[in-house]
Amino acid sequence: MTSTAARPSSGPPVPPPRRWLAATTLIFLVGTQIFSVVTSEPDRDMGNLEKILYIHVPCAWMAMCASLFVLIASVGYLWTRDEKYDFIAASAAEAGTLFTALTVILGSIWARPTWGTWWTWDARLTSTAVLLLIYLGYLALRAATDDPERRARWSAAVGILGAINAGIVYKSVVWWRTIHQIQSAPSTMGIMYTWGLRLNAIAMLLVLAYFITTRYRAMCLERAAAAMAEDAALGGRVTA
């Protein structure tokens, strides 16, 4: 007779693809870059090098936003044990890894002609590097753990740790005064530079949203496919 083993859960429902988000993100990202380059004049001290900040700064902001999403989703999983929160946290962590890496790389490119060095153990730079290592550790942990429930619990703990470090990154230039400048305010910047940063931040937020939603959908599809394969394997067994 056929086995009566329970049908495995297929996980969270698979959301539809967000093609409109991809198109909107691409158009807005290209438009904001053109706006920023055309409207901003070369800086008195940095020249055209300042234009790299239109990407560097929003990437840093998105790294912080991603860590906040990881924190909220991780706490949501620990509270409810709902797998969808684990998928959201993992998707945000992957996007956060990318944005943090871009922050470090672009910051180093900017620092070489400005500070005279590619890297210095400044508080902001060091805490950002630690955040990148935490993100990478998060992804490595998920890749190395086979049990879904254990992977989700351990990942949530690491994700919360990363969010705490993100707070340290944000306050580092206030707590420790080293070479990195403190946060700027609109009152201390030119109006076109301020608008360039704001528009690029919106564009990067759209990129972050697209990455998270796309990766979340892929995880749901992978989970559904694994459940179907397991269901087929269980259904194919016979007992005496």
| pLDDT tens string 120-139 | 999 999 999 999 999 999 99
pTM: predicted TM-score of the whole model, two decimal places: 0.88
pLDDT tens per residue, range 171-213:
998 888 788 877 776 666 778 888 889 999 999 999 999 999 9
Tell me: pLDDT of 219 over 60: yes
Tell me: pLDDT of 117 over 70: yes
CB contact at 8 A, 55 and 207: no
Query: How far is residue 114's CA from residue 46's CA, in Å, rounded to a whole number?
Result: 7
Residues 174-177: contacts with CB within 8 Å, 24+ apart? Answer: 175/123, 176/123
Who's near 203: CB < 8 A, 6+ residues apart? Answer: 25, 28, 29, 31, 32, 33, 58
Average the pLDDT over 208-230 and give the result: 90
User: How large a percentage of the chain has pLDDT more than 70?
Assistant: 92
Amino acid letter, 29 = L
